[in-house]
């Protein structure tokens, strides 16, 4: 007498057992015959997703979860797991949709609210992220990761007192969690409560003596108190713990510059550039250090305005009657974008609003702009052949991806001097107020290159170059070029779309 085939439930019990034993490959072998005979079995498809996820096959896991939600659309766990895989695949917009569907089915899934907060944060929707973390905490008040992440978001939104209060709750809930102390230190430092910040960072280090980032941030707080020597010691300790920390090297260089030790600041830059010759943050600081050392000719080679800034004037892309209608479509899309918020504190924008990622669907007219940017980047690379002795030109990327966002400025709107952590950056102007076009004498609303940030203790007057924004103008430049927007006074909007070219090779 032949033995009966195991039931689907029995097979799935064996699959779970092999998963718990750390044998996902064996679990997948058990699933194959079941799926061959029961391809529409929703629970089997769900388990297939879990197994494939355990094997690191995220694309295949996403396909299995998608099939699951087709077969059983009212199962919250399937939507939740799909969201997690999509998050891992770098698709926060799609992940957010999956989490929202899970929450429609079960509004009390605290982890879904938490993960939705992370996806919205990745998309630049800080207000939405704060609301999601808040909802997770209503359901699970002691969820420390939600407290820490909510504190970070509130800090970004400039709501310092609220951030400090939330992070104090996190510290009280997990007094041995170094990350909670460190984030509280960051909030105190942003609120200019520097002595308290230093004490809080020390508590983080008592919890985790190897916490390099806490040393780096403590160094910044110490420098703000006037203890430059203590700051240098903290940054050096961070570098001992994490030799690859660009933050620690840059902050060490800045503190040494503040101390007047230009040679040591130069050595701090070179130490990191031996590891990563094209790093934008370190190249930006190196140019300032060279200027401070009286080596302007070398600085000019690095920051070569004429050679490395490339303006491009565009006509209307395909699908639009003229440039004006294209720019109007871009402006309308940006002003209606769900991630448009008052500028986060970590960004350079002042008296203006800032979107998150504009390449998230629906792209609308940004899809045409994306093609224009891609073409402009290819033209830029062709116009700037590889040059082995120049850190920017030595190794142009063969493959890259873009990140795109917008800045909407109002009266007195401007951006403080900053750089971008990328290879190449650029800006496109869909809306420019008349005051900018008429402000040639004061450069009101213009983009200016060459002036370092206020946190850089530079004493030498830099060379600068300014460009007047025009509707339809795109300006490309190396990401390590300091740039800022000159303030303007007018009750009119100035809309720019910025982008970074991030290498994939």
Distance CA 405, CA 91 (A): 16
Q: What is the pLDDT of residue 440?
A: 57
Q: Span 311-317, mean pLDDT? A: 96
Distance CA 234, CA 214 (A): 9
Residue 345 has pLDDT above 60, yes or no: no
Structure tokens at 183: 């984030």
Q: What is the pLDDT of residue 1?
A: 35
C-alpha closest to that of 425 among 374, 501, 484, 347: 501
Residue 2 has pLDDT above 50, yes or no: no
Query: pLDDT (tens digit, 9 = 90+) per residue, 173-211?
Result: 999 999 999 999 999 999 999 999 999 999 999 999 999
Which distant-in-sequence residues (6+ apart) come within 8 Å of 483 by Cβ?
A: 415, 417, 418, 419, 447, 448, 449, 450, 477
First-to-final CA distance of the chain: 61
Q: Domains in the chain, start-ordered, CATH in brackets?
A: 307-503 (2.60.120.620)
Distance CA 310, CA 153 (A): 36
Query: pLDDT (tens digit, 9 = 90+) per residue, 76-112?
Result: 999 999 999 999 998 898 999 999 999 999 999 999 9
Q: Span 360-386, mean pLDDT? A: 96
Q: Span 118-144, mean pLDDT? A: 93
Q: What is the pLDDT of residue 353?
A: 83
Q: Where are the beta strands (DSSP E) in 385-469?
A: 400-418, 424-431, 447-449, 465-467
Q: Span 421-440, mean pLDDT? A: 86
Peptide bond into 147 cis (omega under 30): no
Find tokens 């609308």 and name the residue. Answer: 364
**How high is the mean pLDDT of the chain?**
92
Q: What is the pLDDT of residue 94?
A: 93
CA distances from 385 to 306, 344, 397, 422, 454 (A): 15, 37, 12, 19, 34
Residue 147 has pLDDT above 80, yes or no: yes
Which distant-in-sequence residues (6+ apart) come within 8 Å of 33 by Cβ?
A: none
Distance CA 153, CA 186 (A): 12
Q: How many CA atoms lie within 13 A of 77 on its CB side?
A: 7
Residue 348 has pLDDT above 90, yes or no: no
Q: E strand or H helix at 248, and its extent?
A: helix 246-259
Residue 311 has pLDDT above 70, yes or no: yes
Residue 61 binned pLDDT confidence (cut-offs 50, 70, 90): very high
163-167, 370-374, 410-414: the lowest-pLDDT one? 410-414
284-288, 351-355, 483-487: the lowest-pLDDT one? 351-355
Q: Span 252-274, mean pLDDT? A: 96
Distance CA 166, CA 396 (A): 44
Portion of the chain with pLDDT greater than 70, in percent: 95
Residue 343 binned pLDDT confidence (cut-offs 50, 70, 90): low
Q: Span 267-273, mean pLDDT? A: 96
Q: What is the pLDDT of residue 341?
A: 77
Q: How many CA atoms lie within 13 A of 27 on its CB side?
A: 25
Find tokens 């779970």 and name the residue. Answer: 16
Residue 321 has pLDDT above 50, yes or no: yes
Residue 261 binned pLDDT confidence (cut-offs 50, 70, 90): very high
Question: Could you give the 3-state DSSP secondary structure of residue 168?
Answer: helix
């Amino acid at each position: 007498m032949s033995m009966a085939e195991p039931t689907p439930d029995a097979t799935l019990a064996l699959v779970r057992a092999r998963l718990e034993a750390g044998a996902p490959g064996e679990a997948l072998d058990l699933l194959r015959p079941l799926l061959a005979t029961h391809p529409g079995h929703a629970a089997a498809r769900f388990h297939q997703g879990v197994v494939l996820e355990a094997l690191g096959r995220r694309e295949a896991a996403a396909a299995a979860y998608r099939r699951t939600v087709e077969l059983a659309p009212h199962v919250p766990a399937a939507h939740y797991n799909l969201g997690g895989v999509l998050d891992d695949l770098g698709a926060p917009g799609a992940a957010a949709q999956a989490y929202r569907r899970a929450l429609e089915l079960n509004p009390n899934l605290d982890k879904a609210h938490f993960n939705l907060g992370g996806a919205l944060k990745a998309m630049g929707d800080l207000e939405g992220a704060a609301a999601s973390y808040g909802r997770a905490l209503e359901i699970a008040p002691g969820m420390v990761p939600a407290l820490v992440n909510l504190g970070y978001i509130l800090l970004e939104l400039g709501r310092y007192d609220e951030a400090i209060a939330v992070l104090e709750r996190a510290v009280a809930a997990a007094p041995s969690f170094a990350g909670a102390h460190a984030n509280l230190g960051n909030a105190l430092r942003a609120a200019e409560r520097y002595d308290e910040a230093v004490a809080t960072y020390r508590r983080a280090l008592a919890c985790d003596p190897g916490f390099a980032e806490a040393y780096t941030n403590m160094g910044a707080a110490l420098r703000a108190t006037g203890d430059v020597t203590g700051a240098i010691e903290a940054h050096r300790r961070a570098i001992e713990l994490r030799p690859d920390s660009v933050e620690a090297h840059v902050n060490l260089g800045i503190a040494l510059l503040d101390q007047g030790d230009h040679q040591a600041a130069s050595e701090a830059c070179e130490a990191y550039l031996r590891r990563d010759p094209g790093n934008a943050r370190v190249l930006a600081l190196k140019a300032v250090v060279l200027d401070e050392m009286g080596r302007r000719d070398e600085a000019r080679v690095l920051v070569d305005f004429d050679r490395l800034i490339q303006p491009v004037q565009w006509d209307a892309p395909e699908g639009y009657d003229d440039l004006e209608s294209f720019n109007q479509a871009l402006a309308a899309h940006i002003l209606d974008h769900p991630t448009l918020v008052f500028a986060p504190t970590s960004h350079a924008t002042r008296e203006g609003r800032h979107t998150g990622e504009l390449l998230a669907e629906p792209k609308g007219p940004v899809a045409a702009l994306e093609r224009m940017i891609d073409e402009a980047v290819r033209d830029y690379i062709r116009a700037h052949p590889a040059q082995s002795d120049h850190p920017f030109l030595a190794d142009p990327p063969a493959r890259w991806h873009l990140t795109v966002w917008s800045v909407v400025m109002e009266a007195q709107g401007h951006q403080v001097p900053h750089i971008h952590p990328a290879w190449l950056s650029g800006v496109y102007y869909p809306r420019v107020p008349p005051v900018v076009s008429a402000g040639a004498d004061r450069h009101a609303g213009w983009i200016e290159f060459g002036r370092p940030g206020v946190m850089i203790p530079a004493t030498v007057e830099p060379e600068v170059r300014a460009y007047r924004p025009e509707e339809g103008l795109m300006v490309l430049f190396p990401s390590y070029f300091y740039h800022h927007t000159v303030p303007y006074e007018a009750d009119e909007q100035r809309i720019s779309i910025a982008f970074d070219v991030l290498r994939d090779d």
